[in-house]
């Protein structure tokens, strides 16, 4: 790839990193990343990946911008109220970096469309706020051999890890979604907006590391963050041989749609 003078200047802080360099920047510009959810986690993810020059960004979100979103979903502004989130996010990305091609999916992700959507992407990022979609992303990515970043946030806490084929997946830790009413949603328990920024930024870092081949990914490690304590904790885990989707004898061989209330503060 021949960089333009403008691109050399735009991405100069990436290119001078010996772990990235010109070859790494070429990889980013030719890469495709899919972000599921243009909300609290998806906002910093999309902005940082766009700024870094990831060539194609897919965005999945069926929701519209609500006033309560603006406390943490920093890619959306007050003028975007009632606008589809994928449109709002795409507009900001084009203003950040015109090099980036945006593919919006204003759909609800489910077992009927996820495999077709994720097929063309190099890395999948889970920026969702509900268990059914998290399990769906995990199962589809494991079955299709797709690497992905998981994250979850609530109150003052966040967690994240990265999966690549052969490493621990989400079901290695959590076998199935919790029963309804056991885990509160953010509308019931709240979320400090900046926590989404911390965890979403880490997910963006993981995506950039994977796409450039730099550093060590958060595989077989769960990174947790507590804002009140102001600290991170790393929990070393390993692939569960009895995991129902990635274990030695998987019992989950077809995708399933679970029912569970998502975060919905009106």
Residue 249 domain flag:
no
Each residue of 118-152: pLDDT tens digit? 999 999 999 999 999 999 999 999 999 999 999 99
pTM here is 0.95
CATH label of the domain that carries residue 123: 3.40.50.720
Phi/psi for 125 (5° steps) reads -125, 120
Each residue of 167-189: pLDDT tens digit? 999 999 998 888 776 666 666 68
Domain count, the chain: 1
Two tokens, residue 31: 């890469």
Residue 4 domain flag:
no
Q: Of the candidates 257, 256, 219, 223, which has an alpha carbon nearest to the alpha carbon of residue 239? A: 219
Planar angle of CA 132, 135, 70, nearest 5 degrees: 60
Domain around 175: 17-236
Residue 260 domain flag:
no
Residue 262 domain flag:
no
Residue 119 domain flag:
yes
The stretches in the chain having pLDDT less than 70 are 181-188, 260-266
- 3-class secondary-structure state, position 132: helix
């Amino acid at each position: 790839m021949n960089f333009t003078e403008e691109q050399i200047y735009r991405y100069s802080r990436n290119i001078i990193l010996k772990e990235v360099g010109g070859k790494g920047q070429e990889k980013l510009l030719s890469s495709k990343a899919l972000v599921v959810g243009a909300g609290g986690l998806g906002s910093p993810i999309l902005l940082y990946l766009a700024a870094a020059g990831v060539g194609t960004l897919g965005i999945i979100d069926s929701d519209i911008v609500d006033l309560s979103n603006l406390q943490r979903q920093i890619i959306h502004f007050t003028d975007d109220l009632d606008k589809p989130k994928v449109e709002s996010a795409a507009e900001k990305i084009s203003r950040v970096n015109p090099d980036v091609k945006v593919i919006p999916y204003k759909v609800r992700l489910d077992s009927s469309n996820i495999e077709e959507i994720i097929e063309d992407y190099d890395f999948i990022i889970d920026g969702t706020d509900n268990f059914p979609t998290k399990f769906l992303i995990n199962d589809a990515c494991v079955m299709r051999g797709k690497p992905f970043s998981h994250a979850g946030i609530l109150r003052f806490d966040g967690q994240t890890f990265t999966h690549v084929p052969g490493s621990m997946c989400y079901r290695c830790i959590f076998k199935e979604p919790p029963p309804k009413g056991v885990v509160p949603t953010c509308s019931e328990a709240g979320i400090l907006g900046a926590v989404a920024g911390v965890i979403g930024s880490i997910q963006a870092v993981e995506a950039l590391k994977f796409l450039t081949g730099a550093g060590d990914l958060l595989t077989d490690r769960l990174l947790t963050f507590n804002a009140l304590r102001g600290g991170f904790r790393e929990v070393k885990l390993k692939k569960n041989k009895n995991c129902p989707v990635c274990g030695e004898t998987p019992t989950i061989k077809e995708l399933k749609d679970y029912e569970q209330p998502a975060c919905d503060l009106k």
